[in-house]
Structure 1
Amino acid sequence: MRTLSIIIPTYNEAAKIESAIMDGLRQGAMEVIVSDGGSRDETRAIVERLQTQHPTVLLINQAHGRGRQLAAGARHASGDVLLFLHADNRLDANASEQLAARNWPTWGGFEQRIDARGLRYRLLEWGNTARVKWTSRVFGDQAMFVDRYAYQQVGGFDEVDLMEDVLLSKKLKRIERAAVLPGKVIVDARRWHARGVVRQTLRNWFIQVAFALGVSTQTLRRWYR
């Protein structure tokens, strides 16, 4: 039986982190690693409290930036398979069983369920699944998973401010196409609620096009924020 490490990057996620950690523990993960980027709220205190109850929870400190935080978490991981979970996402109750049932595919992500009603959200879900199937590009909010050997073979996450998931996908698809599992990963809709579905989607597309044209990840991070 292969072992699973779940890695969660955080920055001011006090409202979400406890649920994310408990979600990871329910998957039977050998460890849940929280890689914190200097939270100023109660995120760290919540993780430290959970550590006293669950010794497989690990908190590490890292300079802010999701690529750096994920890379640091992976360096501390011991599992055969690494699963990277955003703090505001929730795994399906049988996510680890889906991985085992597919004979632990080399890498990939899960289908999503955005936590909001409406056809626009269902179309977003469909488009994100199609992107993985057609281009082998897995985004972070699809709970990217990867065999630890394959992760190390390609050099892991680039320690960048943004687009770390796109860069890792580009390297991994040279080994094998991404698998997409039925999930669902429940995705918090706060970004779309804050800016609107069309505006947020166009913003995401703009960031991706700018990155493809060579705009630096530091500049993209400023735009994204």
Structure 2
Amino acid sequence: MPEGATAMMPPEPASSLAIVMPVLNEAAGIEAALRALMPLMARGVRVLVADGGSADDTPARARRFGGVEVIEAPRGRAAQMNAGAQAASGARVLLFLHADTTLPPDADRLIEQALAGGRHVWGRFDVRIAGRPRMLRVVAACMNVRSRWSGIATGDQALFMTRAAFDAIGGFPEQPLMEDIEMSKRLRTLSRPACLRERVITSGRRWESRGVWATIVLMWRLRWAYWRGASPQVLARRYE
């Protein structure tokens, strides 16, 4: 941790947690995603769905769940997450969750323990990728090891952070790709991440639709280009 980081970022209790879920055309899975969060909501966790202009009935389906807050946001995952964080006034801890990712049932307690004491102001979970190809287990294991070694996390790993940390770095950079990588780099200036070994489960649909090896090669090429200074806008076009 950089010298003085603890003084700059006083520890905050994790008793007020808000989950921000950016969505776009997730009607097929939004109800299952929100149903999985109901036990956490029953313990006082807020859930905010930040819709980026879905063409289907994602917002309507989300509003069927009492207590879920649905907000409209500019399209783009980073912009949607920032809008959700802004709407989550009063929350001392923010968790950013993809619609196709499921948290451990005691995620709130795990986050509270991870942030207690002020050594860490942000963190992420290990990940398991659901899907038929056995190679997905290897991909997930490599993601977890790489993240633990580098201090860089991806959105699939359910990033969480104190509100103070989020505000200190100005939120997510509003770029069309690699916003999670850039966010991690900025958060890393405040503290190393708390790397929880408990796993979130994320869908393997991206790997299965494009092919596991093709997706691995594509993502490594994009990360290498980003590290070399390529524009996120250019990389987003390559990704699509």
Q: Same fold (TM over 0.5)?
A: yes
Once the two structures are superposed, the pairs formed by residues 1-225 of structure 1 within 5 Å of their partners are 2-27=15-40, 28-50=43-65, 54-55=66-67, 57-77=68-88, 78-104=90-116, 105-225=120-240
What is the distance in 1 between the residues matched to 2:24 and 2:133? 29
Show CA shifts across 1:3-31 (max 9, x none). 11000000100111122222233223531
Show CA shifts across 1:41-97 (max 9, x none). 1101101222xxx23x11111121111111111111131110000001111111112
TM-score normalized with structure 1 length: 0.92
What is the distance in 1 between the residues matched to 2:175 and 2:200? 25
- Alpha-carbon deviation of 1:39? 0.5
What is the distance in 2 between the residues matched to 1:201 and 1:123? 11
What is the distance in 1 between the residues matched to 2:25 and 2:219? 22
- Between 1:98-107 and 1:78-87, the stretch displaced more is 98-107
Name the aligned partner's letter for residue 72 of structure 1: A
What is the distance in 1 between the residues matched to 2:166 and 2:107? 20
Unmatched runs of 5 consecutive residues or more in structure 2:
1-13
Contact 1:5 1:29 in 2 (8 A): no
- Alpha-carbon deviation of 1:101? 3.1
- Find runs of 4+ consecutive structure 1 residues off by over 6 angstroms: none
Show CA shifts across 1:158-208 (max 9, x none). 111111111110111011111111221111010111011110111111111
TM-score normalized with structure 2 length: 0.87
Name the aligned partner's letter for residue 21 of structure 1: L
**How big is the alpha-carbon RMSD for the aligned residues of Structure 1 and Structure 2?**
1.5
What is the distance in 1 between the residues matched to 2:157 and 2:44? 18
Count of residues in correspondence between the two structures: 221
What is the distance in 2 between the residues matched to 1:111 and 1:120? 17
Identity among equivalent positions (%) equals: 38
- Alpha-carbon deviation of 1:112? 0.8
Unmatched runs of 5 consecutive residues or more in structure 1:
none
Name the aligned partner's letter for residue 85 of structure 2: A
Contact 2:122 2:193 in 1 (8 A): yes
What is the distance in 2 between the residues matched to 1:29 and 1:223? 41
